[in-house]
Amino acid sequence: MFKRQTLIVWLTLVAITMMPFSALAQTQIKYHSNKYSVQDDIKLGRQAAQEAESQFPLLRDETVRSYVEGVGRRLVAAIPPEFQHPEFQYYFKVVNARDINAFALPGGPMYVNRGMIEAARSEGEMAGVMAHEISHVALRHGTAQATKGQKYSILGGIAGIAGTILGGPGVGQLAQAPFAVYLLKFSREYETEADVLGAQIMARAGYDPRDLANMFRTIEQQGGGGGGFLSDHPSPTDRYARINREAQMLRVNTAANRDSRDFARIQERLRGYGSAPTMAEIQRSGQRYPVGEQTGNLPDNAPTGRVSYPSNRYQSVSIFNGGVSVSVPSNWRQVNEGNSVWFVPEGAYGTYNGQAVYTHGASFGVGQTNSRNLQSATQELINSFAQGNNNLRTSGGYQRTTLAGRQALWTTLTNINEATGRPENIRLITTQLRNGQLFYMIAVAPQNERGFDTAFDQILRSVRIND
Ligand SMILES: [Zn+2]
């Protein structure tokens, strides 16, 4: 599992001041104290945006993007003057993911999942989520949170990674988490502020602020709770009622009233793409844009298992930030999956039931184990593979071999491939790194195809480790 790094731990501060003398005055919100500069917000957000965009598949549809951008611009223009930062650069992009979620980064970058747009029942509901996100940015909640020391978390993994002993803390120079991304989880106090300011922005932009409350209902009904928007933006008590109470104090700017027929057209357009992958699927597949993908949605790409024989020509590849070099057939390609790296021929790789599946290929990884003993560490690794895989069997015992000039163990496993239903052999070769971690190579091919053995031997012999 990836480590959840806690940058800073902080305290909370209630910053909402109610105005008891005026029943009809909107709630006044104040900034929390913040030791960071506005420029820090911008810098932090820019870094995080770069990271996010290297990992999330953006929907490459200019019609949809510019529509969302248009709604975003309208909301940004409606931020009350005291919370406007001219230095901030708000922009809006659509992530091609099914999860009902959205996130905004300090200084203005904002990402709305396709699932959020598809789940919303009106443009107002979608705008509600965006206004809420914009409020976190305008109130500088990320750096305010860091100032107070509360969790400003960097969640490793788009949606957390499948729990194995692989990767994990202390992986060091080898296998740096390729999916570290900044996602903020705010306190309930900050959530209330973002709801209240969000409602105010909605009204000023010509949207019914009650649509923000409605959207939270919609998210709940459609299961955006676990791992989705509501876990990043936990609901304060009476969220729905609180927003509606605020809405009663607000006058919607009817001059800015919005024709939401565009929204129906955009939803229709999105439906034409078929179902978007989930964040978990995106992470498991380890690739943002599958080969041949044009429309923004991932094709159903279960591996066919029909592959070419390995080329006799090999190319040397450096993986794990230069920690390991290996030669692989020149007609194979590299697929990064979590903390492991696969080399596979075309047709041997894909997803099946949301899981990454490989029919032929070699994989390398580093495991965090509890044992300094190679054999028991290897057994731990096998146990972790066996979790959720009832067809995996060890076949024969451990044999001694060498890997990168060091003592290694060789084990053979058998399995039934999830996608093809064919029996397959899995060779597992393990050795220890100087820091005690387990380094392993896996070679997979169907049982009746021996043509890959030579390639696997050659790959195994080519491995060099710099630890
Ligand atoms: Zn929030």
**pLDDT tens digits, 350-389:** 776 556 778 899 999 887 777 889 999 898 888 877 776 7
Structure tokens at 214: 């409605």
For range 112-140, the mean pLDDT? 95
For range 120-125, the mean pLDDT? 95
Q: What's the gap in Å between 203 CA and the centre of ligand 1?
A: 18
Residue 464 — very low, low, confident or very high, per pLDDT cuts 50/70/90?
very high
Asked if residues 148 and 94 have their Cβ atoms less than 8 Å apart, the reply is: no
- Kindly tell me the burial class for residue 459, based on how many C-beta atoms sit within 10 Å of its own C-beta (0-12, 13-18, 19 or more): buried
- Answer yes or no: is pLDDT of 440 > 60: yes
The secondary element (H helix, E strand) that includes residue 397 is strand 393-403
Separation CA 44–CA 38 (nearest Å)? 10
For range 270-299, the mean pLDDT? 61
For range 430-444, the mean pLDDT? 90
Q: What's the gap in Å between 193 CA and the centre of ligand 1?
A: 9
- Kindly tell me the burial class for residue 18, based on how many C-beta atoms sit within 10 Å of its own C-beta (0-12, 13-18, 19 or more): exposed
Residues 6 or more apart whose CB falls under 8 angstroms from that of 388 comprise none
Separation CA 10–CA 24 (nearest Å)? 34
**pLDDT tens digits, 188-238:** 899 999 999 999 999 999 999 999 999 999 988 886 544 578 877 888 888
Separation CA 62–CA 365 (nearest Å)? 38
**HSE-up (13 A, CA, CB side) for residue 330:** 5
pLDDT at 173: 23
Q: What's the gap in Å between 190 CA and the centre of ligand 1?
A: 7
Residue 129 — very low, low, confident or very high, per pLDDT cuts 50/70/90?
very high
Residue 177 — very low, low, confident or very high, per pLDDT cuts 50/70/90?
very low
Q: What's the gap in Å between 262 CA and the centre of ligand 1?
A: 26
Predicted TM-score (pTM) of this structure: 0.55
Q: What's the gap in Å between 260 CA and the centre of ligand 1?
A: 24
Give the amino acid at 37.
S
Q: What's the gap in Å between 326 CA and the centre of ligand 1?
A: 45
Q: What's the gap in Å between 251 CA and the centre of ligand 1?
A: 23
Separation CA 165–CA 244 (nearest Å)? 46
Lowest model confidence (mean pLDDT) among 244-258, 271-285, 298-312: 298-312
In this structure, which residues have their CB less than 5 angstroms from ion ligand 1? 186, 191, 194, 233
Q: What's the gap in Å between 167 CA and the centre of ligand 1?
A: 30
- Answer yes or no: is pLDDT of 141 > 50: yes
From 111, 192, 146, 132, select the one nearest 37 (Cα to Cα): 146
**Alpha helices by DSSP H, 113-187:** 114-119, 123-138, 141-148
- Kindly tell me the burial class for residue 54, based on how many C-beta atoms sit within 10 Å of its own C-beta (0-12, 13-18, 19 or more): exposed
